[in-house]
Structure formats: structure tokens, C-alpha cells
Structure 1
């Protein structure tokens, strides 16, 4: 049998690099046991964020798919909109390990309680949650549950599609602090993964636009999608500016906070535009 040798150049199959990037995104952002793919280079190494995030919109959609299924199933068996929405958030937290929620809580504590850059970073590293973090975490979960419940009251199918789109767009918008800011901790995870190139960001943005078009075809309100496409990046830009002022750069917690705020903004936009 003739196999591929180390001297072989080029991908083992068309689109292999994109598939590898998708697998890397799912491994990095979830707890899903994604196995190594054929001829995948260093499948369990630190992902190279110069290129890997170009598939983040697709990864965001896929990781939210189980939560969307839970949402629809709970709604169909008449558990009620709020219970269905809460169970969907439970599913999301189990799949992601609540890493973004943790980032939101840490940023709220660090930015709210730190009077200096050093103190803010120290608080953000503390595993304990303070009053700012607890409040931010509660409000974030409450707003996500409330918006999903409101969408469920209007259409179960559209609520599931909205959840998928929000997961994809919010994670893509959360690339903004990585692209715009230097790592606040030179030895932290933000420094290890690198910064997305313009081409990577362009591909990710194009995929989000394609998902928005698909969402419109499936019934999501075009005005809500347009608002979401504008407001999610603006929220990430605002948080990035705050992070620059408070800690002089970005951390993984800042990225997680941008994702959480972005998801709330997307869902609010879709609720506001849904009759």
C-alpha cells in the first residue's frame, strides 16, 4: 500500500485546510472529543489563530446545534418557553465548559473592582467570582434566556435558527479584540495563539454574511439580521476600547466577554425585529 510521506506537499483532499481549521476551532472552544483527522498536522497543539478562526462561524453554528435541538424538543413537549430556553443554555454550557461565561464574570470583576492595570489583571486571574462578576453572569444568562423565550413564543423554529446565528456571529465578533489589541499578558494564551490575518477575518466575515442570508431565507427578519451584523461588532469594539484603557490589551477573558455581550446583542436585535 502506498501512503503519504512526509515529503508530500499539498492537502490530502480538497479543502483539507478548512476542515482542519474547523476541527481546531471545535477542540479549542468546546469540550467535544474531536478525534485527529487524516494527515492533520499537530491536532492537539495550540491552534494558530492567524488562520484557524476563518472557520469560526461554522464552528459556532455546529457547537450550538445540540442546544438548538434541546430548545426545540423542550418546546415541543410543552415545557414552556423559559424552561426550554434555560435547558438550551445548560446544553451550551456543557458543550463549551462555560468558558465564555467565565470570561464575562472575570472581566466584570476585574474592570469593576480593579483600580489599576495590575490589580485588574490580578482579579481576573482569581477563580472566585465577586459581586460584579456574579451580577454580569446573572444578567447575561437572564437576557439570553428571556430573548430565546420571547422568540419561542413567536416561533419555535425561528428561535432555534436565531440561536444558531447568534452563536456564529457572536464568536466571530469576539475576534475583534484579538485582532486589534496586543495581549495584556505577554505569556498568556492570547500571546500563544497569535492574531488573525486580514484574510482570515475577511473569510470569517463573509461566512457570517452567508449565514445571515441563509437565516433570512429561513425566516429570520432581515432588519434584525442587519442590526445584529452591525451591533455585535460595535459591542466588541466598545469592549476592546475599554480593555485597552483598563488593562492595556486583551486576554482570553476579554474575548469571552465580547462573545457573551455579542450573543445578547444579536438576540435582542432579532427579538426587536420579529413581529
Structure 2
């Protein structure tokens, strides 16, 4: 049994040259691509630069979630604050990565043949494997944030959001990317390393200041979560797709939260 999951998708890319400083066009394209925030239009060349800004946009998303968590915690306590933060992330990104998570598990769990798995992943409907994966990951994320509490959850949200999207950029660059047309088409080339390095450095520095050594176990959890999907997709499919990137972001972020919780 399947049911249709209706989700937002980025609007069609404009090939018209947008205005503004050239070095910031990739940032704007990343905002357009990863969120529902109004950021104008971007051209094809701008989207090619977007992965270099994925981590920075992740910090923005995590920052919004952290603020929502703190406000909701003051009103209702950590459990509902955790739920509110997850909902804020879903609304801000249009459930883009969650869609990829569901499609990935439907495809990889639905058929041992790579061609059939890729065909299933293209289907807009969500099946049993996707629904189970989506429910488990979202539920575990809420529980982890509630367990972390107001002292650690906001920073953990920011770090997890930024670092997991940095992992997406790495996977997109080293793929190989499988689809001639798809989410990552045109984004697999070399990227400006400065915004990536600055965003990752900020996430780690903030994490060390607020969480101490727990950042190390969080980072290990993130690498494990994203790495499992990357290895699985390369072995089963021979590379990655946009859905695989979304699944890696979700499992990487959850892995970071669980890793922080596991710190003694």
C-alpha cells in the first residue's frame, strides 16, 4: 500500500543572469535550493556554485530551529520544544531532505536491482520502507533533542544542520552522480572551499564551546550516519542521487545528535 506525499520542490531554475555580486550568487542559489526563503532568482551557473554554500545555509536553518526550540521550551518544556524545532525545520526546507530519505529507503529497500531501485526512487509516492524510515528518523530526532535539553539542544541543532549539509556537498562532489537530469545535475564541479571551511569551523567551534568533547562523538555519529548511506548507495547503485543526499543529511544530523548524547 502506498500513499502520496506532497512536498515542496525548488522552482525551475532561471537561466537569466541575476544581479548582485558574483561571489554571492552561489549563496543565493543555495538558499533557493535548500529552503523556502524568498531569495529572488538564480541562473544555472549560480546553482553550479551552490554546494559550496550548503553548510552555511545549514547553519541558518539550524539557527532558526534553535530559536524555536528555546522559545517553545520556555512555554512548554523540552519535549514539545524538540517537536517544535523539527517542525520548524520541515517548514523552512519544505521537507526537501525528508523526501529524499523516504525515496531512498523505498528504492534501496524495494528492489535488489539498481535500475529498478532508481525507478522506485523517482516515484512521488511513498511506500512502506520510506514511511518507516521517515517516522523512525523524525521520532528519534525529537527524542534526542528532548533528552539533550535546553542546555545542549540549540547548539546541537545548529552544528548538526551545518555539518550534515557540508557532508552533502562532499558526497555531491565525489559521487559519482548517477542522473543525467536531477537534483544535483550541474552541481558536481569544484567548489569555493572558503565558505565551506568557515561554516564547518564555526559549527565545530560553537560546538566545542557549548558541548565540549561531546562534539567529537557527535562528529563520529554524523560521519557514521552519512557514511552508511553513501557506502550503501555506491555499492548498490554505483553512485549517488539527490535522494541519497537528502537521506545522508537526515541520518548524518541524527547521528550527530545521538553521538552528543552518547558522550560520557
TM-score calculated relative to the size of structure 2: 0.85
User: Residue by residue, what CA displacement relative to the aligned partner does 1:223-250 show, whole Å, maximum 9, x if unpaired?
Assistant: 2212333442343333222112222221
Larger radius of gyration: 1
Contact 1:18–1:55 (CA under 8 A) maintained in structure 2: no
Aligned-partner SS, 1:22: helix
User: Residue by residue, what CA displacement relative to the aligned partner does 1:182-219 show, whole Å, maximum 9, x if unpaired?
Assistant: 2222222322x23142x6357514531332113322x2
User: Is 1:27 aligned to 2:18, yes or no?
Assistant: no
Contact 1:176–1:233 (CA under 8 A) maintained in structure 2: no
Q: Find the aligned partners of 1:18 and 1:259 in 2 and give their Cα distance.
A: 25
Q: Find the aligned partners of 2:103 and 2:140 in 1 and give their Cα distance.
A: 18
| Closer, same or farther: CA 47–110 of 1 in aligned 2, 3 Å | farther
User: Is 1:220 aligned to 2:211, yes or no?
Assistant: yes
Partner of 1:272: 262
| Closer, same or farther: CA 44–17 of 1 in aligned 2, 3 Å | closer
Structure 1: give runs of 5+ residues left out of the alignment: 1-10, 36-42
**CA deviation after TM superposition for structure 1 residue 22, in Å:** 2.2
| Closer, same or farther: CA 194–148 of 1 in aligned 2, 3 Å | same
TM-score calculated relative to the size of structure 1: 0.81
Once superposed, what is the RMSD of the aligned Cα atoms? 2.2
Aligned-partner SS, 2:135: helix
Q: Find the aligned partners of 1:49 and 1:180 in 2 and give their Cα distance.
A: 17
| Closer, same or farther: CA 201–112 of 1 in aligned 2, 3 Å | farther
**Matched pairs, number:** 246
Partner of 1:170: 164
Candidates 175, 179, 187, aligned match of 1:181: 175
Partner of 1:208: 200
User: Residue by residue, what CA displacement relative to the aligned partner does 1:96-141 show, whole Å, maximum 9, x if unpaired?
Assistant: 0001001001000100011211110111111111111111001110
